[in-house]
Structure 1
Amino acid sequence: MELISVAAVAENGVIGKDGDIPWPNIPEDTQQYRERIADSAVIMGRVTFDAMRHNLPGSAQIVLSRSVTAFDAETAHHAAGVDDAVEVAESLDANRAYVIGGAGIYDLFQPVVDRMALSRVPGEYEGDSYFPNWDEDEWILLARTEYDGFTLEEWVRRSASA
């Protein structure tokens, strides 16, 4: 099972403010993000799930929550933690799952993700949600692609590339 974090991150590490992104919408980033995760299982927290309920991403949503809750979406599944989320993804015959937030979920999964696809948004923004700090020495930058309004960086964990 390959775990991949996908996030848009400002220069100061901000990923959100009041449940939304603090910078103007970047359509090309939204498009590449949606295309990347379209046919895959995605792992997210309950708040992120609720915020995306009107347009759920991925083919299946694995929602981490302390309480077992029924979801009103057929494709949504509950998970109690990291190991449980991986087991749910594997039970769905997924060979990869994308970790898509929020901040607490990124933090929980950072020690175990194999890859990261980070949209680097220029500028610093006020926010209340941050992408977790990580040691670049543990990672290899595979690609950096410039787009209008952001730069996409694709990282692989050194231990995952061996």
Structure 2
Amino acid sequence: MELVSVAAVADNGVIGDDGELPWPSIPADKQQYRERIATDPVILGRRTYESMRDDLPGSHQIVLSRSRQSFDTETAHHAESVEKAVDIATSFDAERAYVIGGGAIYRLFQPHVDRMVLSRVHGEYEGDTSYPEWDDNAWTLESETEYDRFTLQEWVRTDDQ
């Protein structure tokens, strides 16, 4: 199973501020993000899950949480570890699962993801959550597409970390 981290990241690495995006909405980014993850399982933290309750992404939501083990949504599943989350995603016969945040989940999965799809939002923003740094030597920029207000980058891991 391929694990793909998907995030919108400002030039200074910020991805969020108090559970919200710190920049004004970018409809083209939201559309490409939603289309990308629509039919595959997504892995996310409890707070991110709760912030998306009215419009849950993905075919299944695998929620990492220490404080909550069950959810009232049929497609939501609890996982207590990276390994358990991957096992659950694999059980759906999906070719890939998307890691969609928040910050602690991105950090936890960074050593395990095979690919990163990053919307590099133009500009620097204030925020309390950042995307984890990575070793440039372990990744190759596979593609880059310019949009209004962001650049979509696809990175592929080049080593077996």
User: Which residue does the alignment assign to 1:147?
Assistant: 147
TM value normalised by structure 1? 0.97
- CA deviations 1:70-113 (Å, max 9, x no partner) are 21111000000100100010112122100000000000000010
2-side partners of 1:70 and 1:28: how far apart? 33
SS in 2 for 1:132: coil
Moved over 2 A (4+): none
2-side partners of 1:139 and 1:55: how far apart? 32
Aligned residues: 160
User: Which residue does the alignment assign to 2:125?
Assistant: 125
Q: State the AA in 1 paired with 2:32.
A: Q
Q: How does 1:3-152 map to 2 (within 5 A)?
A: 3-152=3-152
TM value normalised by structure 2? 0.97
Task: Percent identity, please.
Answer: 66
Unpaired stretches in structure 1, ≥5 consecutive residues: none
2-side partners of 1:112 and 1:70: how far apart? 25
Structure 1 residue 69: Cα displacement = 2.1
Unpaired stretches in structure 2, ≥5 consecutive residues: none
Range 86-95 or range 24-33, more displaced: 86-95
SS in 2 for 1:24: coil
2-side partners of 1:24 and 1:136: how far apart? 29
The answer to which structure has the higher helix fraction is 1
CA RMSD of aligned residues (A): 0.9
1-side partners of 2:60 and 2:136: how far apart? 30
2-side partners of 1:98 and 1:117: how far apart? 10
SS in 1 for 2:47: helix
Q: State the AA in 1 paired with 2:149.
A: G
